[in-house]
Structure 1
Amino acid sequence: MDRGTVGSASAHRGRLLVEVRKQGSSAVVTAVGELDHHTAELLREPLDGCLDEGFARLVVDCSELEFCDSTGLNVLLGARLKAEAAGGGVHLAGMRPVVARVFEITGADAVFTVHDTVAAALVE
């Protein structure tokens, strides 16, 4: 699973586990569980850390994300703005229908590049 990984880190609190691995010029951030106002910092910190390390291209693996509220959505939108300012972007991969619905309802699906899989997101 971590073929090509340069380094990795993880954080966990309650309902959200976040793992980071670097693959080439991209950082893959995997969120497992529920992303809400209680757990949003667990995602914000590694996303900001990846950007601070110079990884302007972030791939967020949402395949194990069971829930996302407006706070979680705002974390992703904030990371997208920072990544674009650095010449990169945030790519979302493997969104479950319940999470994808939040993005559809808010119109956020129009501002993110969404891929079926992490492998597809890393090809570009």
Structure 2
Amino acid sequence: MTLPQLNIDRHDRGRRALITLAGEVGPATAPQVRTALERCLGDGITIIDVDLTTVGLCDSSGLRVFLDASRHAETQAFGAAFDRGSAASWSGTADGRRGTASSACSG
């Protein structure tokens, strides 16, 4: 059995980070996504964009990671938004504005 593969790249610009995911987000790889998002928050990043354009599969475990991150961001006065358009993103702002959540992930 071949394990799903997920590549995670992070590029920071000031207090903003772009996380680019390529591959599958499922039970075996969702913890890697969670870790990447938590590291951003731990590093003081206030806006996180997650590019999902090259994600072939995102199941309920992947969706759970994004929902948990969204909830965490809201408790920290961040907002969250998901979209699988050309610049899919999860982002938070430090000014307390709240965002909305939607996702192309399915489970």
Gaps of 5+ in 2: 87-98
Say which structure is richer in strand. Answer: 1
Q: Distance in 2 between matches of 1:113 and 1:81?
A: 13
Contact 1:32 1:62 in 2 (8 A): yes
Q: In proportion to residue count, which structure has more helix?
A: 1
TM-score, with length taken from structure 2: 0.70
Correspondences of 1:83-98 after superposition (within 5 Å): 83-92=73-82, 94-95=84-85
Q: Please state how far the C-alpha of 1:34 moved relative to its aligned partner.
A: 0.3
The AA in structure 2 aligned to 1:78 is: D
- Map of 1:55 onto structure 2: 45
Give the deviation of 1:93 after TM superposition.
Answer: 5.0
Indicate yes or no: 2:79 matched with 1:79: no
Unpaired runs of 5+ residues, structure 1, are 1-12, 97-109, 115-124
Tell whether 2:91 aligns with 1:65: no
Amino acid paired to 1:63: T
SS state at 1:41 partner? helix
Residue in 1 aligned with 2:90? none
For 2:53 and 2:33, how far apart are their aligned partners in 1? 15
| Superposition deviation, residue 24 in structure 1 | 3.0
Does the Cα contact within 8 Å between 1:83 and 1:90 map onto a contact in 2?
yes
Measure how far apart 1:71 and its partner are.
0.2
Query: Distance between the aligned counterparts of 1:18 and 1:112, measured in 2?
Result: 22
For 1:89 and 1:83, how far apart are their aligned partners in 2? 6
Q: 2:76, 2:6 → 1: CA distance?
A: 27
d(CA) in 2 for partners of 1:113, 1:56: 20
Q: 1:38 aligns with which of 24, 28, 37?
A: 28
Shift, 1:90, TM fit: 3.5
Q: Aligned-pair distance for 1:15?
A: 1.0
Residue 4 of structure 2 contacts residue 24 of structure 2 at CA under 8 Å; is this kept in 1? no
Structure scoring higher RCO (CA < 8 A, sep ≥ 6) equals 2
Aligned-pair Cα RMSD in Å: 2.5
